[in-house]
A and B are shown apart, each in its own frame.
Chain A
Amino acid sequence: MQLILFMILAFVAAVSSVAMITRSNAVMSAIFLVLNFFALAGLYLLLNAQFIAVVEVIVYAGAIMVLFLFVLMLLKTESEEKLLADKRGIKIFALFISVLVFIQVVCLIFFERPSRTLTPDEAASVKAGTIQAIGGQLYTSYFIPFEIAGFLLLAATIGALVLAQKKFG
């Protein structure tokens, strides 16, 4: 049952990511990326990461992609031509490079074979994904990175406001 669910979600994630990079209309790319994020949130739930799944939907699909769609609507970019029409040689070489990256990471995975040395513990993984466990670690051991993340968000907010105003400087 879990394997069937994993296959469906992984298929949706993979197909939507490939569809995202091949659309000529940028808004369709954004929509397919939202679908990809929902499939990833389902995969996180399958991995017992409840908090991360919900945060993924709220922050990534709900805030970041809405921001992307707002910018796409504001800038009214025209559609690109067909993907392989222009500069075909460079794009084929780029595809070859990305296939090379994929083969390298897959070779790493199969040389290391992490499932040989790891014995998964279902109860521990359920307990590790709860918001109590994450909150407990976040506010005690990782408190300083948490505060620094707050400062980072403040800096990003101020930066975005300054950069986007009409009269710069």
Chain B
Amino acid sequence: MTAIPMEYYLILSAFLFSVGVAGVLIRKNAIVVFMCIELMLNSANLTFVTFSSYLGNSIGQIFVFFVMTVAAAEAAVGLAIIIAVFRNKKTVNIDEINIFKW
């Protein structure tokens, strides 16, 4: 990677992460909030792979492997929870899912 400086990848990863943060805070559909969380996980993956490539070490990519495993497990369980909540509340709008309020 003699052509591209490392900071370019890191700044792109920071941008994707902040777009994910904005999405989680703005959107009201619970499934879209989940997708923004996946976007944040992917931006962290990009940072790991960047460092792994520029250091010549494969440990970063092994960690990305485990992050993808955890993200897949979290997506499956989270969507199952959303389906279960939808069965009772008939909505996935997070403004109306206020079960914890009295």
Contacts and interface: CB of A to CB of B under 8 A. Distances in A.
Interface in B1-54: 1-12, 14-23, 25-29, 31-32, 34-36, 38-39, 42, 45-46, 49-54
Chain A interface main SS type:
helix
B86 to A, nearest CB: 5
Chain B interface main SS type:
helix
A44 B49 contact: yes
Given A36-B39, A159-B77, A134 B62 contact: yes
Given A67-B79, A109-B10, A149-B66, A128 B61 contact: yes
Nearest to A156: B73
Most buried by A among B55, B56, B86: B56
Interface residues of A, number: 84
Interface of B: 1-12, 14-23, 25-29, 31-32, 34-36, 38-39, 42, 45-46, 49-59, 61-62, 64-66, 68-77, 79-84, 86, 92
Interface of A: 1-3, 6, 10, 13-14, 17-18, 20-21, 26, 29-30, 33, 36-37, 40, 43-44, 46-49, 51-52, 55-56, 59-60, 63-64, 67-68, 71-72, 74-75, 77, 80, 83, 91, 94-95, 97-99, 101-102, 105-106, 109-110, 113-115, 118, 120-125, 127-129, 133-134, 137-138, 142, 145, 149, 152-153, 155-157, 159-161, 163-164, 168
